[in-house]
Structure 1
Amino acid sequence: MNDTPPPSFYGQSDPDERPTSAFGPAPGSHPAPPPAATEKRRGRGGFAAAVVTASLLLGGAAGLGGAAAYDAWYDEDAPASSNVATRTSPVVDQGEAPAEAGSVQEVASAVLPSVVKIDVLSSQGAGSGSGIILSDDGTILTNNHVVEGAGAGGSISVGFEDGTRADATVLGTDPLTDTAVIRADDVSGLTPATLGQSGNVAVGQQVVAIGSPFGLDATVTSGIVSALERPVNVGSDSEGNATTYPAIQTDAAINPGNSGGPLVDMTGSVVGINSSIRTASSSTQGGAGSIGLGFSIPIDEVMPIVDQMIAGETPTHARLGITVSDASVPADAQPGDPVQPTGETGARVGEVTDGSTAGEAGLESGDVITRVEDSPIESADDLVATVRSYRPGDEVTVTYTRDGEESTADLTLDSDAEGATS
């Protein structure tokens, strides 16, 4: 069993989060007198950037304290007169830096008008995330975990690049893919994002992430695609179905509040929806920051579901009609027991639903699925994420082992439209 904690959601920022360091002396501190010298050192003060007002004020005070100490120090030591000429750096107006073709600057300029900050008020408190404009009249794509708190008497408001704001309502949500669509009220003339194809993304290519980490709207970060089809499990819905998707992994800095914002390629086309991060902490919620392991939902996989939500339909997903567990864990292992790995990889079949496509294809409890089409399956999450990348009705070839013998089965994927699925 994989004992690494799952990636954390980052749709809501933590109001108790504080910066870990500050620059500049604290208010009221007195630096030691400078050593005797003909050339005096220049003092440096500053303040730490922070998210909440209290921290900004603390940082500002530290900077002011440093400046005050600098002035007192040099007023006392300054000679009565000096014949040394004072020279200052020239100030020039260099003009606005032109954006180079294909640069991060050019991408940011093109995409920023299509990204919004989403603020949610609910009975649990306040949180914020990001969203991607899909239509000029206010259809916006985001994560389910960003807006789910607004379901019970909460409210949603959207902030646009030009500083205007609008209330918004939820058009549809899909916990299994962690996506949602909202509509901003009474808006027009917005700039829809350009949607790309995540199937064209390659490991190592440069990408840009845009969103509102820790509430800091219109933040741009860049990096590369670190991996593709990374199975990411971020929990389950109310019926126990896993929220798992085959993620694009990136080292572009992604933090709490980036949720729902776009991951774009260097043409400015959206290839993913930033959704989760891996942290060094065991916590699965909020406060920890980026360590270069961010995960985005591939846009190709979710657009059919997004179209269903926009049309007012209930999203549907492909399924095999089975329950699965990691083949590396003994089938009879009990929660809390020490586990001796089996040495196998794959997804072990548990229950097979009567009449399901897996049952009709001959799969049985105890079989270990090792491949779907050309995608290797190393765990239960691998299988769920891979099947979720297809649509109901798609035909696939499943490779599995039974009693050490490898077999294949051709089947047509079921739909969960008529009930819950595993």
Structure 2
Amino acid sequence: MNENPQQLPQNQPGSNPEQGSTPGSQNPSYGASPQERTQQLPMGGYGQHQQQQFAPQGGQPRPPQGSGQHPAGGSAYPQFGPGAHQGTSPGPNWPYGPQPVAPAPEKPKRRGLALVALTALLVGTAGGVGGAAVYSATNDSTSNTPSVTSPLNGNQAAPASAPDGSVQSAAAKVLPSVVKIAVATSQGEATGSGIVISKDGLIVTNNHVVAGAGSGATISVMLNDGRTVPATIKGTDPLTDLAVIHASATDLTPAKLGSSGKLAVGQGVVAIGSPFGLEATVTSGIVSALNRPVTSGDAQQDSTTVFPAIQTDAAINPGNSGGALIDLAGQVVGINSAIKTAGGSGQSEGGNIGLGFAIPIDQAKPIIDELVAKGKATHARLGVQVGDAQSSDGLSNGARLGEVTSGGAADKAGLHAGDVVTAVDGKAIASGDALVAAVRSHRPGDQVKLTITRNGQTQSITATLGSDNGNPTG
């Protein structure tokens, strides 16, 4: 079966333009060719982030422009402002009467600010309301060493006790279970995050964190206690962007896995990981939305993932990939995987703008179990190609079915090419990607109730989802 949001002919104008690269990409091939559709901005690879250089060669910090230092080789700037001279002020009329007030030096503009406005203009113009956005994977490639490293732990006062339900209490429970992952290859080094799931070294992370660990690559894990140990890949699943690695340690602290199905919009959450290589970083926010159809991928690789994400405004940046999103009880409810950035194509250093996305732990658990047991995972399959159905105003309005696989779940349920799916189990479906994400949130053998429109008539059809048998592209 191919839940493949392909380029289907649209019955209305305003269909999405096709792009050619991932994380900010194209038609997601949900069980077929690994391509994804750009429905928002073209994104730089959040999984191939070029580390921002905090210090120039030689390790000395570079003074910012407009910092007030005098030019190299020159004397100090004349100081006539209040408090700069000694003795009594000569008064406002000295030497030639009132002087015009010099404008304050303009602060250097931060690179990328103009792109924020560009993002605001472009978001939503391609996919329509409810369509999956294209986001960047959250891995952090590092070519330079940042000027900030691990926190200094010596001679610090004991932390104050934290009440249950506070960010401090939740973070304290999970920090020992979140690790920093470094992958070194001949092309360079990348870092991400991971969550300990067993005492004997099993760690779950994103597939894009370890995807480059091919022949000759090495994986290292920095534990919360400061030790660094080697690790090997246990299993990977590019379709759900999950992977399990095995670290050489036997005394780790597993995280407690919660339930993403119990989350509510507005609920407080905490993200823990290693943004920009800064391990054991804690940020907090709320659940901004649930079941957000998100398409993410990597610009340097033909890979794509569509999943019904937990959206959060907790600060998530490159290197948070594979880290924990937890509730205030200290239970893992999601695995941080992608962000929406303000950078354009080729600007991989885009960071947090309050739109982060995590894989719900309820969808991750069965995949993790299969990766541990077999090294690969199976996925639910409907057996049909899908695209966006559009209303007369050009907005996405459901998932239009294309070619139906003979003998597949859709075929057995009586679905036809041209049917428009508008809901799954009573939840609205606004686009092809939303249908793909909804199917992917289930397991093989699950029954789903599809609300469809056929020849202008609405009806309900129950389908029993098939399996790809661990071969998502077959």
* Residue identity opposite 1:15 in structure 2: Q
The answer on 1:143 being equivalent to 2:143 is: no
**Separation of aligned partners in 1, 2:170 and 2:233:** 29
Q: Give the 3 Å change call, closer, same or farther, for CA 275–393 of structure 1 in structure 2.
A: same
Give 3-state SS (helix, strand or coil) of 2:416's partner: coil
Shift of 1:418: 6.7
* Match status 1:171 vs 2:234: yes
Letter in 2 for 1:345: N
- The CA deviation at 1:421 is 5.6
Alignment deviations for residues 198-217 of structure 1 (CA, whole Å, 9 cap, x no partner): 00111101111010101111
State how 1:15-414 maps to structure 2 within 5 Å: 15-17=51-53, 22=64, 25-26=68-69, 30-33=76-79, 34-36=83-85, 56=147, 96-185=159-248, 187-235=249-297, 242-283=304-345, 286-328=348-390, 342-343=394-395, 345-414=397-466
After TM superposition, give the deviation of residue 367 of structure 1 in Å.
Answer: 1.0
Provide Cα deviations, 1:311-349, integer angstroms capped at 9, x if missing partner: 1242000011001011128xxxxxxxxxx8555501111
Tell me how far apart the structure 2 counterparts of residues 129 and 179 of structure 1 sit (CA, whole Å): 13
Change in CA separation of 1:344 and 1:201 when aligned onto 2, cut-off 3 Å: closer
Q: Distance in 2 between matches of 1:297 and 1:404?
A: 36
Rounded to whole Å, the distance in 2 between the matches of 1:420 and 1:281 is 31
Q: Are positions 1:10 and 2:73 aligned together?
A: no
Deviation at 1:399, TM superposition (A): 1.0
Q: CA deviation at 1:110?
A: 1.5
CA distance in 2, matches of 1:363, 1:240: 30
Distance 1:10 1:418 in 2: 27
Partner amino acid, structure 2, of 1:168: A
Cα distance change of structure 1 residues 316 and 188 upon mapping to structure 2, 3 Å threshold: same
C-alpha distance 100-56 of structure 1, shift in aligned 2 (>3 A): same
Q: TM-score normalized by structure 2? A: 0.71
Shift of 1:55: 6.5
1:143 touches 1:180 (CA, 8 Å); kept in 2?
yes
TM-score by length of 1: 0.79
CA-based RMSD of the aligned residues comes to 3.2
CA distance 1:273–1:96, change in 2 (3 Å) = closer
Alpha-carbon distance, 1:277 to partner: 0.3
Structure with larger RCO (C-alpha < 8 A, sep 6+): 2
Amino acid in the other structure paired with 1:310: V
Partner letter of residue 175 of structure 1? Answer: P
Query: 1:126-181 deviations in whole A, cap 9, x for unaligned?
Result: 10000000011110000000000002331100001111011100010011110000
Q: Whole-Å Cα distance in 2 between the matches of residues 164 and 152 of structure 1?
A: 25
CA contact (8 A) 1:318 1:388 kept: yes
Larger gyration radius, structure 1 or structure 2: 1
Q: Which structure 2 segments of 5+ residues have no match?
A: 1-15, 17-37, 56-61, 89-141, 149-155
Bigger proportion of residues as helix: 1
Q: Which amino acid aligns with 1:323?
A: Q
Instruction: Structure 1: state its 5+ residue gaps.
Output: 40-50, 58-92, 330-339
- Comparing 269-278 and 393-402, the one that deviates more: 393-402
